[in-house]
Every structure is written in structure tokens, then in C-alpha cells.
Amino acid sequence: MRMYLNGQWVDASDGGLLEVVNPALGQVVDTVPNATREDLNRALDLAVAGQKIWNAVPLHEKLAILERYACMVTERVDSIARIMCEEGGKPIEQCRTEVYANAAIFRIYCSAANTFYGKTLPMNAEPRSQGDLAFTIHEPLGVFANIVPFNYPVELAAHKLAPMLVTGNAVVLLPSSKTPRSALMITELLVKAGVPAAAISCLTGEGRKIGAWAVEDKRVAAVSFTGSTAVGIGIAETCAKDLRRVSLELGGNDPMIIYDDCDFEKALEEAVSGRIGNAGQTCCASKRFLVQRGIYDRFAAALRNCLEQLRIGDPADPSVELGPVIRKEAAAVVIAQIQKTLDQGGTLVCGGNRTGAFVAPTIIRTPKTADIAKDMEVFGPVFPLIPFETEQEAVEIANQTCYGLSSGVMTADMSKAVRTAKQLQAGACILGGSGNYRLAHQPFGGYKLSGLGREGAVSTLEEMTQLKTISLKGILNGGL
Ligand code: NAP
């Protein structure tokens, strides 16, 4: 596949290519261009001009275009999902769900844009403002670099594209080099739906090059990035030099606290679904399972039983629940993290091995002192079970991390649930479930090193625009 620039499928200016690999088979299935600086220059020049054209389109027309796009995506769920499954290794049914989510996110932002009001400021509040009138309007920031990781290429792109576009910004979409083709497909659909070709492009290339070049470029007014904390901090540092805006959705090591008095079966179900989706490669997946002593042994045994029944295999098979991680090298990292946890006092209950990019579902009885119980994020189907005695100890373990994305609490005691939620240092807390839960309206984002800013229809329109106050001086005293 080629990349999408100015409404056309193009090669890199130097003809360079990157391989697209199917992680389940370990085979190259396609190539995409390896974009050069020259390609980025072209995309940014176009975007600067395209932003003005797009911003001038009346809101009702923008909404009609984006609604048309959402319909087009929905009509192509199968073809987009197939590509995602092939290059990302995500089970096909999860890919289909993600494509539907992309369309839903656009629709939700379109409806939010209709009520994205400015404010009329109080009149005559100060003696010096007698006879004046003032109001605020939201204006776009300009050109956004939209950088998304491999794990949810279509859904995470939408969480950014929809608010960027509906508020009149232009976008250069930079997908991960590991999962570039679904992003290219949705970019083409945006243009076919009516977004000016200059206002949206999708360049493919290695993130550490093309992403870094885009972040440095001052034609980029703002960067919205989802990915690792280390890269996110580097982006914030670069943008800070010229006070360009950044929004960062970063890593997590989210706790799920399972109290003795919980609904045991529901806790099991939530633990499995909250960890196993996309082979454990989800930012807000539950990654540390804090289980109270009274049910700890029973929970470990029951969880093992559940994991043994998971259907593992070819992600293109609709019955498969667990596929590979993104690459065999990523699987090797997960195995090394498991080994480290065992070296730090953990005991293996099941799993601990891999075949190619497939990591066996793994349970480790884990002391609260191990790295995995603190700051070591594992992107794979691994369940560290960490025992605790009291509510206070559970909160202490949950908070002993540099991250703070999401969290989950299982208990029948509503008062204890809310009390726990209030004490957790995280951007979200799900009571009665895993923290692996995200709604398009929800202000999603992290405390501490899990991010900066929030994505969600209740807050992102503000973050992707700038506020201007227009004052009509003396208007009520006979004129300006
Ligand atoms: P990553 O290495 O930081 O990559 C994320 C994206 O940035 C990719 O598109 C990557 O391209 C690109 N990139 C790499 N180096 C860059 C640089 N120097 N400048 C600009 N862009 C650069 O993250 P990952 O390991 O793929 O993703 C997993 C991490 O993302 C985990 O920590 C996970 O928790 C986090 N995440 C967070 C959220 C959230 O909403 N909070 C959601 C999903 C994932 P290449 O892939 O081509 O290198």
C-alpha cells in the first residue's frame, strides 16, 4: 500500500519502503512507504493551507461530512478489520468492535460540537466596563500532528481526529510503522467524505524519525500523542521550547483491587476480559491484580482454570480470544519481565513461555515489592496476583507506582468501593469492573506519568482549540 497525501496514493520521495509484518505468522504481508523529510515538508505545507480552507467550511457542513465518513467506515467494517487483524494480530472480532468504535466516536464529537458554546461575560461587573459587552469564541489551533501507537490504530486515531477536525484544525496522521494500513484507509475515507485533501494526510514511516521530525517542526501547532511515557516526555520537552501545545496519553500499570466480599464470578470474568483483550496490549488494561488474602488461593486456582479454557490461535479465526503480541521481539520482552518477577520472589502458577509472538497466559503469585507491582508495565497476557490484608494496604500498593491511568475495584460494600476510589491516584476508577473501560464522552487520561490532558467529548474540544475574548467596548452606550 502507498501513503495518502493531498488526496493521492504516493510513494516516499526516495522510494524507500517499510515492511508490514503479520505477527501471527511472522511473515511480511505488504510494504508501505518510508516517508522522508521532504514528504513531511509537503504534508505540512499542504496542511497549513488546508487548515484555512477547512476552517472556513460552516459547522453544519463539517458535521455532514464527518457523518458521511462515519457511514462509510461502518459500511467497510469487514475490510478495515481484516487489515487491522493481519498487521496487528488482534482477534478479528475485537478489530470489528474497534472499527465500529471509530464511527461512534466521530458521531459523538459531531453532536458535542453542536453545543460547544462560548460564554457571554457578565455585563457591568466592574465600574470600568459600564456599557461594554464581551463574549468568547473557540478557534482552532492550526495543524496537529496526530501520533498513535500500534495497539488501537483506528480507535485511538479517532479519539484525536474527530475533535481536531470538527473544530477546524488540519491533521497529519502518523500511525505506528507496525500498523500503518488501517490509518491510511480511514484517511482516504475522510477525504472521500469531503474533508479537503490538503487538510488531512497520513504519512507512514518509523516513528522515531517521522514522528520526531513532525514534533520539532513549528508548522505543527500542537501534538497529540498516545504511546509510551518515555517518548511522551521527549515530545513535551521539544514542544515546551516554543510553548506548542501537547496532549499525552501514556503508559499505565493499573490496579484491580479484588476484596474478599466481591462477587467472585464477576471478579474473575472482569479480570480475564480486562487483561486478555488485544493480548494484554491495552493502556488501561488491568495489569496488577490486588487480591485480598481470604480469597487469594481460590482466585488463583479459578483464574488458572479460566485461562486454560481460552481459545488461543489465529486471530483471523472469529472464535479466537487470544492472539499474538505485536512482534516476537515484544513477546521476548514479556518473557524477560516474567523472569524478572520470578527472580524478585514471584511464583509461577501457569504460563511463562512463548511460541513466536504468542505469549502463553501467565499467572504469577507476586510479592508487593516486585517491580511488576510498582512501575514495570507489561504489554502481554500476564496476571501478577499481589496479596493484601486491609483496605489501607490495598490502596498503598495500588498507589506505589509512577503511573495513574485507570483502576478497578470489586467489592459488595458500596461505601468501601467509593472510599477506595477516592484514594486511588488514577484518572479513572471503575467500581464493579476492571479499569479497562473507556467511553467516548469520558474525560480519559492519566494522573502522574500516565499523561497530560484528557480525551473525551466532555473535555477535548476545549483542549484542541484556543479561546478568544471579543469585547464590544461601549456597545451599550450608543456604539463602538
Ligand atoms: P511508543 O514506542 O511510544 O510509540 C507510540 C507511537 O509513537 C508510535 O506511532 C511510534 O512509531 C511513535 N514514535 C516512536 N518514537 C517516536 C519519537 N521519538 N517521536 C515521535 N513519535 C515516536 O509506544 P508503544 O510501545 O508502541 O505503545 C505502547 C505504549 O503506549 C504503552 O506504554 C501503552 O500503555 C501506551 N498507550 C497509552 C494509551 C493511553 O491512552 N494512555 C493508549 C495506548 C497505548 P513506531 O511504532 O513506528 O515506532
Contact 197, 191 (CB under 8 A): yes
Give the Cα separation of 147 and 355 in Å (integer): 31
The mean per-residue pLDDT over the stretch 125-149 comes to 96
Residue of 155, 249, 270, 463 marked active site: 249
pLDDT of residue 478: 86
Q: Which residue has the higher pLDDT, 480 or 260?
A: 260
> Is 283 part of the annotated catalytic residue set?
yes
Cβ of 149 below 6 Å from ligand 1 = yes
Q: Specify the pLDDT at position 480.
A: 81
- pLDDT for residue 219: 98
Between the CA atoms of 65, 71, 76 and 80, what dihedral angle is there, to the nearest 10 degrees? Answer: 60
The residue contributing the CA closest to ligand 1 atom 17 is 208
Residue 227 Cβ inside 6 Å of ligand 1? The answer reads yes
DSSP letter for 198, please. Answer: G
pLDDT confidence tier of residue 479, bands split at 50, 70 and 90: confident
What's the grid cell of residue 345? 520472589
Looking at this protein, which amino acid is placed at residue 122?
A: P
Among 19, 147, 156, the mutation site with the greatest number of ligand 1 atoms within 8 A of its Cβ is: 147
Distances (CA, A) of 391 to 251, 298, 395, 399, 412: 25, 19, 6, 12, 14
Average pLDDT, the chain: 98
Whose C-alpha lies nearest to ligand 1, atom 22? 207
Nearest C-alpha to atom 13 of ligand 1 is from which residue? 207
Q: Whose CA is nearest to atom 10 of ligand 1?
A: 207
Residue 371 has pLDDT above 90, yes or no: yes
445: left (phi over 0), alpha (psi -120 to 50) or beta: left
Q: Is 150 in the pocket of ligand 1 (CB under 6 A)?
A: yes
C-alpha to C-alpha distance for 424 and 179, rounded to whole angstroms: 34
CA distances from 173 to 39, 99, 275 (A): 13, 17, 28
Q: Give the lowest-confidence range in 44-48, 120-124, 393-397, 404-408.
A: 120-124
Q: What is the phi-psi region of residue 447: left when phi exceeds 0, alpha when psi lies from -120 to 50, beta otherwise? A: beta
Mean pLDDT of 211-229: 98
Q: Look up residue 475 and give its three cell numbers.
A: 456597545
The yes-or-no verdict on residue 124 having pLDDT over 90 is no
Overall pTM > 0.95: yes
Q: What distances in angstroms separate CA 118 from CA 59, 306, 467, one per listed residue?
A: 15, 51, 9
Main-chain phi, psi angles of 478, to 5 degrees: 110, 0
- Check if 231 has its Cβ closer than 6 Å to any atom of ligand 1: yes
> If you average pLDDT over residues 395-402, what whole number do you get?
98
Report the alpha-carbon distance of residue 415 to residue 413 in Å, rounded: 6
Confidence of residue 203 (pLDDT cuts 50, 70, 90): very high
Q: What is the rounded distance in angstroms from the CA atom of residue 446 to the CA atom of residue 468?
A: 28
